[in-house]
Amino acid sequence: MIEWIVILLIVAAIASLLGFRGIAGASAGVAKFLILIVLLGILLLFLFGIVVFA
Look at residue 54 in the predicted model and tell me its pLDDT.
60
Q: Name the stretches of the chain with pLDDT < 50.
A: none
Is the distance from CB of 31 to CB of 5 less than 8 angstroms?
Answer: yes
Look at residue 2 in the predicted model and tell me its pLDDT.
85
Return d(Cα 40, Cα 52) in angstroms, integer. Answer: 18
Look at residue 13 in the predicted model and tell me its pLDDT.
94
Look at residue 37 in the predicted model and tell me its pLDDT.
96
Domain extents in the chain = 2-48
Look at residue 11 in the predicted model and tell me its pLDDT.
94
Look at residue 50 in the predicted model and tell me its pLDDT.
76
Q: How many CB atoms lie within 10 A of CB 27?
A: 21
